[in-house]
A and B are shown apart, each in its own frame.
Chain A
Amino acid sequence: MLPRVLSLGVRRGPLTRRPGTLRGGFSLGKVVDDRWYCGSGVRPTSGCVPFRTRNRAPHWQDSGSAWGRGYKYWEEKLSEIKKKIQSVLPGTSLHPLYDSSHLPPDHSDVVIVGGGVLGLSVAYWLKKLEKQRGALRVLVVERDLTYSQASSALSLGGIHQQFSLPENIHLSLFSASFLRNINEHLAVVDAPPLDLQFNPLGYLWLASEKDAAAMENNVKVQRQEGAKVCLMSPDQLRNKFPWINTEGVALASYGMEDEGWFDPWCLLQGLRRKVQSMGVLFCQGEVTRFVSSSDRMLTKNQKEVKLKRIYEVHVKMDNSVEYQPVECALVINAAGAWSAQIAALAGIGKGPPDTLQGTKLPVEPRKRYVYVWHCPQGPGLESPLVADTSGTYFRREGLGSNYLGGRSPTEEEEPDPENLEVDHDFFQDKVWPHLAQRVPAFETLKVQNAWAGYYDYNTFDQNGVVGPHPLVVNMFFATGFSGHGLQQAPGVGRAVAEMILEGRFQTINLDSFLFSRFYLGEKIQEDNII
């Protein structure tokens, strides 16, 4: 068995090295140079090895001539030659004895942490907008390729443009046109076309007296930005939808076009199939560590700022201690409900509070329940997704009088996001009374099924975080959308890809969604969140 040795970390910074690491070599405490162009021509310094050797003495301690150096010296020389060959032929795994096909590659230009709809959308747009075919090497790392806990797969799949922020409206409009032409965007040779099962019935938001003015303002903004929304009075509402009880409703806004719901699993699989055909590599594993280098720089006011750059991502395999260090140039945090953990690994939030270093990513997982019930006398085929004044929402599913719905709990009632167990009492106590009050036909219903999923809830202002971090300069965020990530995924993916490839947002300006707003305290509150 050939002992595999690692080369030294002479050129690496020691700043984030944990004690007792199994990697060999000393470090000299030198600040490293720019490692931006990781993907091309840089001597790789780690091998695709399943096992790590013990600490060994650095080679300059061997004295004497080459011939006197012995077995260890030649071993090291051989591995250096192998690495040189490997760097010329990227992508080959020179391990005839071990099967390393489950491991990610040694280096990748972009590593996307999280393989949900946002991560896949970023991967798709990166490959679509890159200047030369094959210019970017993209790796998507997903912890659970069955998507059993992924928010994208468990989502209700709704899309609407009734937001209060113009950027959100534009993102949704773009996503609607993306979904409409999905078979042109995500076409793969010899694969069947995608059937999203889109239901264009729209969203109906109900507002009580106190919210009516805000709703009218929002509708004005929405119409200005191009969304087709109409306002309805309680009388018009009763005419159109006789099954609604309009008590307590002062105004309603109804989306006429480009709104509805679709099958998120189909979108996920379609994106996955397409990005695989475009050459994006997938890996099932968990990101456990970021190795970064840092630079101390002085601002205009002579204050010291430490800028970090991640140059290696450690991807740990399932049920094993085996991990693969992937050299990378960019990291994209699209980990959804678990984005805060990934950010903490990169050192975001480690510092005194009220400083930029100490600002954590305020995204946390929040559990939301969805219930399926059957009600034979319920609203007819034409019922839209109704979002009540109390936060309860429901929609019809299929031809068989089945309905899906739920309610976002208030801050005090937030369930523990430890697991995805469903609390049926929540339906009995908190959801059903509001449903029955709004739609009298729902007084008799029978719950057939229920599930729970996570929102990647942004506790700051319930809007997404997009763009680079000011201090960890090569980590980009695409997370924190608090329940409307699925409907904005195509637009956000394109925005992140533009930021990476062009340096700025080109089509939709998401400057107000950058991370720095958490430090500056600039909230961009979104009202219409269910």
Chain B
Amino acid sequence: MAAPWRSLRLVAPIGNRSTRGIHQLGGAVDPESSQKKRRTMLQYLSDHFYDVEFLRGYFLQNKMDKVHQKNRFRDKEWIRPDKYGHFSQEFWNFSEVPVEAVDASDCAINYEGLENLHLLKELQSLSLQRCPHMDDWCLSRLYPLADSLQELSLAGCPRISERGLACLHHLQNLRRLDISNLPSVSNPGLTQILVEEMLPNCKVVGVNLAEGLKLGPEEQPQDTDRPIPA
């Protein structure tokens, strides 16, 4: 989820000492018209003085750089390994950046490995799809992420059963939970209903509630040659 691209309405460069006096004077009277006045005044000055133009460009560039820095992951947010499975060394430069999402699909992560996720205090999205060693014990280890985790996907994990899903009740900030294709869950429909009761603010997806149920007599498919159902 990238932050929306903010429009850069740089009316006056902040911290531009040479022009501070100008917009302080003008701003008190009428914001809209004073802004227009400032813009034309600044425009007039920068048209006539190279220094002002240069300084204005310099501060504009600074501000743009800051915004770019904040949005640097807009297109390339995910840090992926290359074809040999290695992560690039530049990953180390980002050690202060909080990790928001981890995609560990098809990964052989186990109980001891999940301890490493406890350090990620701002993790919002965790995807553990099709992990072969994820079982109920592992799910009981996810509670430290309760403050920040909003999206969790457990689709296709062969060892997870409804007992493990029950201990997701600690994750009260969860908004989306994917529990499709869990072969060890004994009754997927009932489990989904109980999990939805357990996590009232969360959208639980992945289970077709009609699966395994037979249609009642009223719900039998109508004849298709009648345009209007009787």
Name A residues whose Cβ lies closer than 8 Å to a Cβ of B.
180, 197-202, 256-258, 260, 380-382, 399
Contact = CB atoms under 8 A, between A and B. Distances in A.
Contact of A399 (B136, B169, B194): B194
Contacts of A260: 140, 163
Contact of B167 (A197, A200, A380): A200
Interface string B65-77: 0000000000000
B166 interface: yes
Given A198-B137, A201-B166, 13 more contacts: A197-B161, A199-B163, A200-B136, A200-B140, A201-B167, A260-B140, A260-B163, A380-B198, A381-B165, A381-B166, A381-B197, A382-B169, A399-B191
B99 interface: no
A19 B197 CA distance: 72
22 contacts: A180-B111, A197-B161, A197-B163, A198-B137, A198-B163, A200-B139, A200-B167, A201-B163, A201-B166, A201-B167, A257-B140, A257-B141, A260-B140, A260-B163, A380-B198, A381-B166, A382-B166, A382-B167, A382-B169, A382-B198, A399-B187, A399-B190
B195 interface: yes
B206 interface: no
Contacts of B143: 256-257
Contacts of B187: 399
B164 interface: yes
A431 B33 CA distance: 79
A199 B141 contact: no
Nearest to B143: A256
A381 B140 contact: no
Interface in B151-188: 161-167, 169-170, 186-187
* Most-contacted residue by chain A among B136, B191, B194 (CB, 10 A): B136
Contacts of A202: 167
Given A380-B198, A381-B198, A382-B198, A199 B166 contact: yes
Nearest to B190: A399
**10 closest Cβ contacts across the A-B interface?**
A382-B169, A200-B140, A199-B163, A381-B194, A381-B166, A382-B198, A180-B137, A399-B190, A200-B167, A381-B198
A197 B195 CA distance: 18
Contacts of A197: 161, 163
A158 B167 CA distance: 16
A445 B197 CA distance: 21
A399 B137 contact: no
Nearest to B191: A399
Contacts of A257: 140-141, 143
For chain B, the bracket of interface size reads: 20 to 34
Contacts of A380: 194, 197-198
B18 to A, nearest CB: 56
A180 B139 CA distance: 13
Interface of B: 111, 136-137, 139-141, 143, 161-167, 169-170, 186-187, 190-191, 194-195, 197-198
A198 B161 CA distance: 10
Nearest to A256: B143
B137 A200 contact: yes
A8 B142 CA distance: 68
A381 B195 contact: yes
B215 to A, nearest CB: 23
Nearest to B140: A200
A381 B111 CA distance: 23
B136 A199 contact: yes
B159 to A, nearest CB: 9
Contacts of A399: 162, 186-187, 190-191, 194
Contacts of B164: 200
Contacts of B165: 381
Nearest to B170: A256
B147 to A, nearest CB: 14
A200 B198 contact: no
Contacts of A200: 136-137, 139-140, 163-164, 167
A469 to B, nearest CB: 38
A394 B61 CA distance: 66
Contact of B136 (A198, A256, A381, A382): A198
A481 B191 CA distance: 36
B169 to A, nearest CB: 4
A256 B167 CA distance: 9
Contacts of B141: 257
A198 B167 CA distance: 12
Contacts of B194: 380-381, 399
Nearest to B166: A381
A46 to B, nearest CB: 50
A416 to B, nearest CB: 37
Nearest to B162: A399
Contacts of A199: 136, 163, 166
B117 to A, nearest CB: 14
B123 to A, nearest CB: 18
B27 to A, nearest CB: 48
Nearest to B161: A197
Contacts of B167: 200-202, 382
Nearest to A255: B140
Nearest to B186: A399
B144 to A, nearest CB: 9
A160 B139 CA distance: 17
A99 to B, nearest CB: 45
Contact of A381 (B137, B139, B162): B162
B66 to A, nearest CB: 41
Nearest to A239: B172
* Most-contacted residue by chain B among A180, A200, A202 (CB, 10 A): A200
